[in-house]
Structure 1
Amino acid sequence: MFRQIVKDYALIDPIASSQLLPAGDSASPKELIFHILKDNAADVEVLDIGFGRGALGELIKGTPQTAHWSVDGVDGFEGACNHPALFERKIYRNIWHGLAQGVPSDRFARYDIICLLDVIEHLTADTARWLLRTLLTSMGDNSFLFISTPLWFYPQHSQQSGDLEEHLIGVPATSMMALLPVMYAMNPPLIGGFVLTKRSLDFIEFFQPTADRSFSYQRGMLIANAVNFQCVPGKFFKLL
């Protein structure tokens, strides 16, 4: 199922009354989004996949330099798409209820920045590889993919029926650095945020998540240090 809930800031197809509420919040270094573009004053289109409680949208719209940006959201959890308080604040221009895998691929080319913050670890390894390849293939030539994920198997389980919160994979730092990000940052506990461009598609075969639940924080740190991933919270690193 993939249907539009909000169009041009107006609720058009409300979900039936539900007791489910968005509870999780991404631990990613969201502020990295302000450093991606050369000119934040330009008209910018952002797609927030797995927007949850809307923290990224609120950050963008609550910052004077980016308040004019247009932010669209996609989420597969019913509770996230039944959030009148968020919709009334007109944070998200358009919202669709559905999984990222259900987004028509031609839609991705419309956006300057596609955000996949703390989402990919909720997918199977095969689906994660497919989605990353699809996003990089379908996005515009001058667009950016902002992706964040724990760089270890961060144990997390579902809290509500259908909330999609369970973690299914861990992503080693080698997988993300091998995609040649143009910049990155880190938040504790070893949550990496990476900005990718179309050139990452040439290295997609090196994106190798694992379903091994013994891939601990300590093992993740060892790998991060081995590939010179800078584990400095609050600092942004530009590679090109």
Structure 2
Amino acid sequence: MLRQVLKDYQQIDSIDTQLLPAGDSASPKELIFHIMQDNAANVEVLDIGFGMGGLGQLIKSHPATQHWSVDGVDGFEGAFANQALFEQKIYRNAWHGLAQSIPSDRFAQYNIICLLDVIEHLNAETAKWLLRTLLTSMGNDSFLFISTPLWFYPQHSQQSGDLEEHLIGVPASSMMALVPMMYAVNPPLIGGFVLGKRSLEFIEFFQPTTDKSFSYQRGTLLASAVNFQNVPGKLFKLI
């Protein structure tokens, strides 16, 4: 169930919560500027799990993309206690709810769907379902920008209901098997990948793990084995 809180940059509802905003992604967000062939176009972005709003602020602060429209969804109540973010009018529309509650037909309206440091908070079956749903439902010329630690990054809940615990690790082999169009990495081995519709053909190879012993060292070795280039700050285009 989604509850709309922002509509056309105006707050139309509020959520009574004592929780504080949290969840700033460590992903290589700058990939967002390299996805579209023409950043001057009118681009619609959906930021799933927008947290502190870092991605939206990045888009809106850049002269080439400040005209883009950014919508947000977050399942954490504290994200909607961030009045300072809403007053900046970064996000056009925003909904409170889980990613798996978003109606699938809504994805088709966006040019870029962003899932930054979100999928590792889901269980394995939900993660696989969500990735398949996003790739199936998005437009033929749309892109999915996804980031995740490429190992089982240990993270636990800080407060009740904060959705912060990591439930899975995603091997680099799973992400590279989806045949990304481009990728980049930030320390500590946080990969960002841009997927097109063609990745749906390889969705069966997306296999996250629940093995908490899938350490940073093991993740790094596996990344090297599949020719994933672990060079922070460098963009790799594969097509």
Fold shared per TM-score above 0.5: yes
Matched, 1:9 2:9: yes
What secondary structure sits across from 2:79 in the alignment? coil
What secondary structure sits across from 1:142 in the alignment? coil
Distance in 2 between residues matched to 1:141 and 1:24, nearest whole Å: 30
Superposed counterparts of 1:141-220, under 5 Å: 141-220=140-219
Q: Which amino acid aligns with 1:80?
A: A
Distance in 1 between residues matched to 2:87 and 2:200, nearest whole Å: 38
Structure 1 residue 44 displacement after superposition:
0.3
Q: Which amino acid aligns with 2:168?
A: I
> Which runs of 5 or more structure 2 residues have no equivalent in the other structure?
none
Q: Which amino acid aligns with 2:223?
A: A
Superposed counterparts of 1:76-87, under 5 Å: 76-87=75-86
Structure 1 residue 25 displacement after superposition:
1.0
Q: Which amino acid aligns with 2:217?
A: Q
Q: Which amino acid aligns with 1:158?
A: S
Identical positions, percent: 80
Superposed counterparts of 1:1-240, under 5 Å: 1-16=1-16, 18-240=17-239
Distance in 2 between residues matched to 1:135 and 1:7, nearest whole Å: 23
Alignment size in residue pairs: 239
What secondary structure sits across from 1:91 in the alignment? coil
Distance in 2 between residues matched to 1:89 and 1:69, nearest whole Å: 15
Structure 1 residue 100 displacement after superposition:
0.2
Q: Which amino acid aligns with 1:202?
A: E
TM-score by length of 2: 0.99
> Which runs of 5 or more structure 1 residues have no equivalent in the other structure?
none
Q: Which amino acid aligns with 2:7?
A: K
Distance in 2 between residues matched to 1:239 and 1:42, nearest whole Å: 23
Structure 1 residue 235 displacement after superposition:
0.3
Superimposed CA distance per residue, residues 42-82 of structure 1 (whole angstroms, 9 cap, x where no aligned partner): 00000000000000000000111100000000000000022
Distance in 2 between residues matched to 1:22 and 1:227, nearest whole Å: 37
Distance in 2 between residues matched to 1:190 and 1:220, nearest whole Å: 8
What secondary structure sits across from 2:78 in the alignment? coil
